[in-house]
Homo-oligomer: A and B are copies of this chain.
Amino acid sequence: MTTAKRKRVPRAERMRQMIEIAEEAFSERGYSAASMDEIAERVGVSKPMLYEYFNSKEGLLLACIQQTRAALREVTERATVGAETAEEALRRGLLAFFVFILERRQAWSLLRHEMALIGTPAADEIEQIRRQQTDLIAALMSDHFDSGDDPRAEASAEFVVGACERLAIWCERHEDVSPEMATGYAMDILWSGLSAKAR
């Protein structure tokens, strides 16, 4: 208002801006505490525009999550190509994940908010998006392991993803734990199993 009169911007570009700002807002303030009014203002646009492009607050969060999950998936997938052994593939994937967590705090913080959508119409879509991640892992496992039947591979993938996400949250409270250490912890259980350490 005080400064330049607002410029008209093409849809695709605007959407990118909105997602960028929304990602900030959601990760800083939390999903429910962040308001659409505030996001609109920070983008430099009025609220109905957000609804024009994303239909609802949930829709906006969904778009943010979709983008971030895609980035995470990309990173972990890249990390595993060219691994010689199953062990190496697993270790590289884990490390890539924990590095992502550390370096892209905002993105990770956002992903932690996806749970805010359970019980809402968007819950299915969230699971859909997560599936992309677990399917990737399940595929990797099929490449490198004798995973038995197909649901078993799926279950294993969910298991690993859940474990790592929780471990990542734990890492946030322990700043002295490096990605390498976290990877070590995870590998230690996943690869050798607990039987190796039983008394």
CA distance in complex: A166, B177 (Å): 23
Mark interface residues in A26-46 (1 if CB within 8 Å of B CB, else 0).
Answer: 000111110000000000000
Main SS at interface, chain A: helix
Binds B, one of A2-10, A64-72, A73-81, A167-175: A167-175
Quick one: which of A118-146 are within 8 Å of B by CB?
Answer: 118-120, 127, 144-146
Check if B162 sits within 8 Å of A165, measured CB to CB. Answer: yes
Interface size class of A (residues with CB under 8 A): 35 or more
Q: Which residue of B lies closest to A31 (CB)?
A: B119
CA distance in complex: A189, B196 (Å): 12
CA distance in complex: A190, B196 (Å): 10
CA distance in complex: A165, B160 (Å): 11
A30-B119, A115-B118 known; A198 vs B145 contact (CB < 8 Å): yes
Q: For A160, what are the chain B residues with a Cβ–Cβ distance below 8 Å? A: 163, 189
Q: Which residue of B lies closest to A166 (CB)?
A: B162
A115-B115, A119-B30, A155-B170 known; A192 vs B195 contact (CB < 8 Å): yes
Check if A194 sits within 8 Å of B162, measured CB to CB. Answer: no
Check if A162 sits within 8 Å of B167, measured CB to CB. Answer: yes
Q: For A193, what are the chain B residues with a Cβ–Cβ distance below 8 Å? A: 189-196
With A31-B119, A191-B194 known, 4 other A-B pairs at CB within 8 A are A158-B169, A162-B165, A190-B194, A193-B196
Q: List 20 A-B contacts (CB under 8 A).
A: A29-B119, A30-B118, A32-B116, A33-B119, A86-B199, A112-B115, A113-B119, A116-B116, A145-B194, A158-B166, A158-B169, A159-B167, A159-B186, A160-B189, A162-B162, A162-B163, A162-B167, A191-B194, A193-B194, A193-B195
